[in-house]
Amino acid sequence: MWQQLIAFLIPPKKAVTAMQVPPAIAEGTATIAQCQQLLLSQLQSGEYVLSSSDKEGHRTLCYYRRAFLYAEVGDDGTSLLRLANEQVMLDYVWRSNASKLVQVDGNYQWSYDLTEEEKLERWQAIVARLTPFTAASKRFVAQVVADFAALERE
């Protein structure tokens, strides 16, 4: 009985399989276009998402029911964004990753003037952030979609 209880409380570790990243990206020699194509193919496979959580909320960008969706629940409320097509999704992802903090006259400010090398590094970092589209992530997205669908019926 104790073994069953322990097994229930501490489930066995599942084998983790690494996402297959082309060697060029793994070695840092890929192009921006290759990173973008890998991001698109992984998202459209329905097996991967871009997701983040912090004290302010949870965000997920995924390919769900043949559409790119960005779902967010946070302190400021709930939002759902349907990104119209591949290019719109890539532009959206880029806008949230295309800046850096620079010091100007002793003060820090955001700069969007990135070198080609910095742009490539940003795209590689985006691809590296892909995580499996887990059942919990699917429930999260489905719940946000359902919440907005319920507004239509009210």
* Domain boundaries of the chain, sorted by first residue: 29-153
The pLDDT of residue 27: 55
| Residues found in the chain | 154
Residue 39 has which token pair?
Answer: 């991001």
- The whole-model pTM stands at 0.77
Quick check: 74 and 57 in contact, CB under 8 A? yes
Give the CA radius of gyration of the chain.
Answer: 19
Please give the chain's pLDDT, 154 residues, in tens: 334 433 443 444 444 344 455 544 555 558 999 999 999 999 999 999 999 998 889 999 999 999 999 999 998 899 999 999 999 999 999 998 888 888 888 888 888 888 999 999 999 999 999 999 999 999 999 999 999 998 887 7
**Residue 35: which of 93, 76, 104, 84 has the closest Cα?**
93
Q: Whole-angstrom Cα distance, residue 75 to residue 78? A: 8
Under DSSP, is residue 9 helix (H, G, I), strand (E, B) or coil? helix
